[in-house]
Amino acid sequence: MIGLTIAGLDPSGGAGILTDIKTFSALGIHGTSVVTNLTAQNPDKVYGIKEVDTDFISLQFDSILDAYPIEYGKTGMLYSKEIIKLVSEKINENDLKIVIDPVMVASSGANLMNNDYSKYLKKYLIPNGVLVCPNIKEAETLSGIKINNLNDGIKAAEKIGKKTNVIITGGHLNGQSILYDGDIKVYTQELIKTNNTHGSGCTFSAAVCGYLIKNYDLRESIEKSNDYVYNSIKYGRYKTLNPLYELNNL
């Protein structure tokens, strides 16, 4: 079983590609990656961002897809319109089924997107995804709806859900996640008091992608990923998640 992450590199290992690969590994999946951006950061601060040029991103896609029969992938930090367009073209050309984490801002507060990022995400990428998983802030940006309570979240999910299945992840709404896949379903989870949350969006989207690869349906994959992220946060270390908890048996 093989998965693909199309995302940025967080050298602290807390988020981005390194976390996605750890998550795939914990699920028994061989992880491949296309690096869209290099970042210099730790869980507290982003020191810098360097975009990879689109020709080289394209070459990474070709090198992986020429060698491996990949069906499912996920996207993380894409940063610019040019990268979103290129990634969307590659996804369409290769019929990839993609879980989209619409990464906009790092947990430390730094911007991980360029101007009009949300507009181009909605135009090129989201309509071709199998699931988009925004947190509350990202859902507000994508929907244009301010989310103060569950009802607002449901409205936002229905609006974003016109383009593809969506789950608004619940870390900021009392542990309530809102799925719209034609019907609304609300998942409620206990919130853990901790600062080990850096990378939770990356881990969730990689886990959903991983469970889809393992042939679970979308709802089963989401439910299993909710548990997976809960435990990764619970057993986190060094202000980041521990997506290997299953392997470590902590």
For binding to ligand PXL (CB under 6 A), which residues are involved? Answer: 7-8, 10, 15-16, 39, 41, 76-77, 103, 106-107, 112, 199, 201-202
Nearer to ligand PXL, 48 or 69 (CB): 48
**Residue 131 beta carbon to ligand PXL: minimum distance, rounded to whole angstroms:** 17
Nearer to ligand PXL, 3 or 8 (CB): 8
Nearer to ligand PXL, 149 or 238 (CB): 238
Nearer to ligand PXL, 15 or 156 (CB): 15
CA distance 89 to 126: 12
Strand partners, 135: none
CA distance 81 to 87: 10
Single out the residue of 245, 207, 214, 212 nearest to residue 21, CA to CA.
207
Nearer to ligand PXL, 76 or 236 (CB): 76
**Residue 51 beta carbon to ligand PXL: minimum distance, rounded to whole angstroms:** 12
Nearer to ligand PXL, 78 or 212 (CB): 78
Q: What share of the chain is helix, strand, coil (3-state, %, to 5)?
A: 40, 20, 35
Which residue stretches of 172-243 are H helix? 200-213, 218-234
For the chain, the residue count is 250
**Residue 199 beta carbon to ligand PXL: minimum distance, rounded to whole angstroms:** 6
**Residue 198 beta carbon to ligand PXL: minimum distance, rounded to whole angstroms:** 7
Single out the residue of 7, 78, 14, 17 nearest to residue 41, CA to CA.
14
Strand partners, 101: none
Q: Tell me the backbone φ, ψ of residue 91, rounded to 5 degrees.
A: -65, -45
**Residue 134 beta carbon to ligand PXL: minimum distance, rounded to whole angstroms:** 12
**Residue 41 beta carbon to ligand PXL: minimum distance, rounded to whole angstroms:** 6
Tokens 């079983």 belong to residue: 1
